[in-house]
Amino acid sequence: MNRREFLETVAAAAVVPAFARQGVPANEWESPVFDLHFHLRPQPTSNLAHLDGAGVTKANLLTRGAVLEQVTALQAAAPGRFTWFNSYDVTKPDAEQVLTRAVKDGAQGFGEMKFHVAADGPELRRIYALAADLRVPILIHFQEVDHVANEGTWSTGFAKTFESVLKAYPKTTFIGHADAFWANVSADYRNEAAYPTGPIKRGGLTDKWLGDHPNLFGDMSANSCNNAMSRDLEFTAEFLKRHQDKLFFGSDCGCSDGHGGGVSQNNNPAAARMTGKCVARETLSLLKRSASRDIFHKVVWGNAHKLLQIPA
């Protein structure tokens, strides 16, 4: 779909009050829900279909490249329901200019940053510095193990080098996400699998760094977090209590309807446990079972509003 068709679809959707008719299920989760990790979909109505289907009140659109018109149109069609982050190839020389422009245009963060570079390499370092200058958070995908042959790795070296980054950029707000970030809640992780299983060995790096570094936060989206938080429920309850002010619910769900329709997790064979399921629903249910009402409300709603400095 080109830009004109997109805008026409938005206009049509705004005339037929489909969103208003469906509405947001008032209290399905007994708390409004903010999805920090929602990839902008080309069809405007499909964005709302996922939010409404999963009982999500607001979402943060993760986008890449030039998307201002699409985002503005979607915000106009569903006022108050969407914020956005922007990303851009960090290996390109104009990355800082493009990302600065996106923030001037209303983007409230950088992300999802998912590139085949080292987490402590020069390409990302300049973006860490820029995020501090512009006072926006940066959301990073850390992955050391291929999901499919030759996929390659993303923001590599998390376990070995990222603490030095956290120390070097104290004014940057880092939001960790994906396989390596979540697998490292367990102290015995050695990059042996994308989604390790079994009881959590206490004292993992991610757990420790969330406690030690005020500039590190966690994005609870995708199979990576759901898997980690499903391994050892005693650990999960304690972890949520410990880091209740530093965690954000997110889905990273690709399902069509907020009920597991279509394709979830991009047919990633390593994440087959999510096949036919909506990741948003799975993780919201897990969090609800594992946290007090107050902590659940912070993680699925309050914390994201504080982070983005928007009224809840």
Residues 135-194 contacting Zn ion, CB under 5 A: 141, 178
- Beta partners for residue 218, in sequence order: 176, 247
- The smaller minimum CB distance to Zn ion, of residues 10 and 222, is found at 222
Binding-site member from 51, 90, 175, 255 for Zn ion (CB under 5 A): 255
- Run of H or E residues at 134: helix 122-134
As a whole number of angstroms, the distance between CA 253 and CA 50 comes to: 9
253 touches Zn ion (CB under 5 A): yes
Of 71-79, 166-174, 274-282, 284-292, which part binds Zn ion (CB under 5 A)? 274-282
Residue count at the site for Zn ion (CB under 5 A)?
Answer: 6
For tokens 């018109």, name the residue: 69
Minimum CB separation of residue 278 from Zn ion in Å reads 3
Minimum CB separation of residue 238 from Zn ion in Å reads 26
The number of CA neighbours under 13 Å toward the Cβ of 33 is 29
Please, are residues 269 and 148 in contact by the beta-carbon 8 Å criterion?
A: yes
Q: Give the per-residue contact string, 56-95, with Zn ion (x = CB under 5 A; - = no).
A: ----------------------------------------
Can you tell me whether residue 140 is helix, strand or coil? strand
The number of CA neighbours under 13 Å toward the Cβ of 68 is 10
Please, are residues 142 and 155 in contact by the beta-carbon 8 Å criterion?
A: yes
Please, are residues 63 and 40 in contact by the beta-carbon 8 Å criterion?
A: yes
Minimum CB separation of residue 253 from Zn ion in Å reads 3
Please, are residues 137 and 131 in contact by the beta-carbon 8 Å criterion?
A: yes
- The smaller minimum CB distance to Zn ion, of residues 111 and 196, is found at 111
- The smaller minimum CB distance to Zn ion, of residues 216 and 255, is found at 255
- The smaller minimum CB distance to Zn ion, of residues 255 and 304, is found at 255
Closest CA to 102 of 49, 156, 61, 162: 61
Minimum CB separation of residue 207 from Zn ion in Å reads 20
Minimum CB separation of residue 282 from Zn ion in Å reads 9
Minimum CB separation of residue 250 from Zn ion in Å reads 10
Amino acid, res. 89: D
Minimum CB separation of residue 311 from Zn ion in Å reads 26
- The smaller minimum CB distance to Zn ion, of residues 232 and 271, is found at 271
The tokens for 95 are 């990355």
Q: Is 178 exposed, middle or buried (0-12, 13-18, 19+ CB in 10 A)?
A: buried
- The smaller minimum CB distance to Zn ion, of residues 33 and 280, is found at 280
- The smaller minimum CB distance to Zn ion, of residues 81 and 141, is found at 141
308 touches Zn ion (CB under 5 A): no
Minimum CB separation of residue 68 from Zn ion in Å reads 22
37 touches Zn ion (CB under 5 A): no
Binding-site member from 74, 103, 138, 278 for Zn ion (CB under 5 A): 278
* Phi and psi angles of residue 84, each rounded to the nearest 5 degrees, phi first: -150, 150
As a whole number of angstroms, the distance between CA 252 and CA 281 comes to: 11
Residues forming the site for Zn ion (CB under 5 A): 141, 178, 253, 255, 278, 280
